[in-house]
Amino acid sequence: MEQLLLNPIAKVDGEINLPGSKSLSNRALLLAALAKGTTTLTNLLDSDDIRHMLTALKQLGVSYQLSDDKKQCVVEGLGHAFDTKDQGQIELFLGNAGTAMRPLCAALCLGQGDYVLTGEPRMFERPIGSLVDSLQQAGADISYLGNEDYPPLNIKGTGLKGGTIKIDGSVSSQFLTAFLMAAPMSQEDTTIEIVGELVSKPYIKITLQIMKDFGVDVVTEDYQSFVVKGGQTYTAVEQYLVEGDASSASYFLAAGAIAGGSVKVTGIGKKSVQGDTQFATVLEAMGAKIEWGDDYIKASKGELKAVDMDMNHIPDAAMTIAVAALFATGTTKITNVYNWRVKETDRLFAMATELRKVGATVVEGHDFIEVTAPEKIIHAEIDTYDDHRIAMCFSLVALSGTPVTINDPKCTSKTFPDYFDKLALVTR
């Protein structure tokens, strides 16, 4: 197994132009593929999750031209749902990309064709039953090829009727996102009612905004119910600039907050649609100095102290707070993050295990984690569980004056293939 030894980092300083947002890249690709007309996407993310979406779209008959650096993509929209009925069964391998699996699951029900949706072994442990149940309420023909409620799936595209649908929002917001993006192309109007507490709410704001950008309005009552008119087609966006990735920004902002100097990330700012920009507000509450621009966020060192916060709204960036807690006085408590357990790995277990290896005192609850910094951080080999965010957030341990070894560092390819090269640009 490959290992990366990160030597102690004395100082951070500089600027990082963020790669495109994973959440926006995969949404934009799907909507551009369904839309009428040609969309040019710029600042597209080049990573595994996006590659899986791109490959699937090609198999589904969508034409696009990707630039050599893979950051620009000109998509010839179909102007209607996918139709591959003449091609027999098509198998789509979607890796471990939730933002490909869930939205494609809904979108493929709209048209005509026979599909198998599959992925990496971990994908078979990530639930999708609530989405399948809700699509079946709208007439979808979906069956499980392995365990009930989990991929792999067989979808027979027969169209979605619309109507009044209930979706359980308590495990992943991606189920609602997937249904919302398909709903305008249903035969009739759709009313979606949320059952249970909707988690990761800011991702729904991203979905509603991008649907609007592609010409579709959704009426919502306080994110509890959503009404979408049926029989619509998305409209291409001539030039769509993908915002920088706010979750990827968290590692650099935390580095600025922990070490001397400051780090500025560009490509996101005070007008960003991504909820993970609120990570900067949490860092500020911990004592970091934060500056917001229209197209940048800058973090500088402060005396960090522990916080006790519900971080359900920033589930991905909250992992970075768990490692920043190693540099804060007091006990940091991150609550209401049960769904860490159903992501790339069981992140509550994995974070607790790896934080203990560097000496922290950790309490792992059913849906929370408490982290108290050790007097002195110890060198450890960090297992990364094929989870890009574990590799990236544990790189911050090197800011302690103690080196850290990251096992399987290339797992960052899910969302940020050159993360460690970029980190080296701002560290001394």
Ligand X SMILES: O=C(O)C1=C[C@@H](OP(=O)(O)O)[C@@H](O)[C@H](O)C1
Ligand Y SMILES: C=C(OP(=O)(O)O)C(=O)O
Binding-site residue positions for 3-phosphoshikimate: 22-23, 27, 172-174, 200, 316, 339, 343
Site for ligand X in 78-107 (CB under 6 A): 98-99
> Does 412 engage in binding with ligand Y (CB under 6 A)?
no
Q: How many helices (H) and strands (E) does the chain have?
A: 12, 23
Q: Which residues contact 113 (CB under 8 A, 6 or more apart)?
A: 60, 82, 83, 84, 85, 87, 90, 156, 157
At its nearest, how many Å lie between ligand Y and the CB of residue 243? 16
Other Cβ atoms closer than 10 A to 89? 11
Q: Record the tokens describing residue 267, joined without a space.
A: 């490509």
> Does 352 engage in binding with ligand Y (CB under 6 A)?
no
- Residue 389 binding result from ligand X, ligand Y, none, given CB thresholds of 5 to 8 Å by partner type: ligand Y
Of 248 and 300, the one with the shorter C-beta distance to ligand Y is 248
Alpha carbon distance 343, 73 (integer Å): 28
The stretch near ligand Y (CB under 6 A) out of 10-18, 95-103, 359-367, 417-425 is 95-103
At its nearest, how many Å lie between ligand X and the CB of residue 102? 8
Expressed in percent and rounded to 5, the helix, strand and coil fractions of the chain are: 35, 25, 35
Contact in structure between 370 and 332 (CB atoms under 8 Å): yes
Q: Record the tokens describing residue 293, joined without a space.
A: 């621009």
> Does 134 engage in binding with ligand X (CB under 6 A)?
no
Other Cβ atoms closer than 10 A to 260? 13
CA dihedral 227, 128, 367, 392 (to 10 degrees): -100
- Half-sphere CA count of 186, side-chain side, radius 13 A: 29
Classified as helix, coil or strand, 334 is strand
Of 259 and 392, the one with the shorter C-beta distance to ligand Y is 392
Indicate which single residue of 99, 177, 262, 345 sits in contact with ligand Y (rule: CB under 6 A).
Answer: 99
> Does 199 engage in binding with ligand X (CB under 6 A)?
yes
Other Cβ atoms closer than 10 A to 324? 30
Compose the 307-336 pattern: x for residues touching ligand Y by CB under 6 A, - for all others.
---------x--------------------
Of 174 and 372, the one with the shorter C-beta distance to ligand X is 174
Please give the helix or strand (H or E) that residue 116 lies within, else none.
Answer: strand 112-118
Instruction: Cite the annotated binding site by residue number.
Output: 22-23, 27, 98, 126, 172-174, 200, 316, 339, 343, 347, 389, 414
The stretch near ligand Y (CB under 6 A) out of 5-13, 65-73, 91-99, 181-189 is 91-99
The single residue of 316, 383, 387, 408 carrying the catalytic annotation is: 316
At its nearest, how many Å lie between ligand X and the CB of residue 304? 24
Of 102 and 333, the one with the shorter C-beta distance to ligand X is 102
Clarify whether 386 is annotated catalytic.
no
- Residue 415 binding result from ligand X, ligand Y, none, given CB thresholds of 5 to 8 Å by partner type: ligand Y
At its nearest, how many Å lie between ligand Y and the CB of residue 112? 27
> Does 173 engage in binding with ligand X (CB under 6 A)?
yes
Cis amide leading into 152 (omega within 30): yes
> Does 427 engage in binding with ligand X (CB under 6 A)?
no
> Does 245 engage in binding with ligand X (CB under 6 A)?
no
Alpha carbon distance 321, 333 (integer Å): 9
**Which has the closest alpha carbon to 413: 381, 387, 385?**
387
Q: Record the tokens describing residue 28, joined without a space.
A: 């934009």
Indicate which single residue of 174, 190, 300, 412 sits in contact with ligand X (rule: CB under 6 A).
Answer: 174
- Residue 97 binding result from ligand X, ligand Y, none, given CB thresholds of 5 to 8 Å by partner type: ligand Y
Provide the sign of the torsion angle of the four alpha carbons 184, 190, 196, 201, taken in this order. positive
> Does 412 engage in binding with ligand X (CB under 6 A)?
no
The stretch near ligand X (CB under 6 A) out of 89-97, 111-119, 152-160, 167-175 is 167-175
Contact in structure between 238 and 39 (CB atoms under 8 Å): yes
DSSP string, 273-304: --GGGGHHHHHHHHT-EEEE-SSEEEEE----
At its nearest, how many Å lie between ligand Y and the CB of residue 43? 18
What Å distances lie between residue 345 and 17, 297, 333, 393, CA to CA? 28, 29, 20, 15
> Does 97 engage in binding with ligand Y (CB under 6 A)?
yes
Positions marked catalytic: 316
Query: Where do contacts with ligand Y occur on this chain (CB under 6 A)?
Result: 96-99, 316, 343-344, 389, 415
Which positions lie near ligand X, rule CB under 6 A? Answer: 23, 98-99, 172-174, 177, 199-200, 203, 315-316, 339
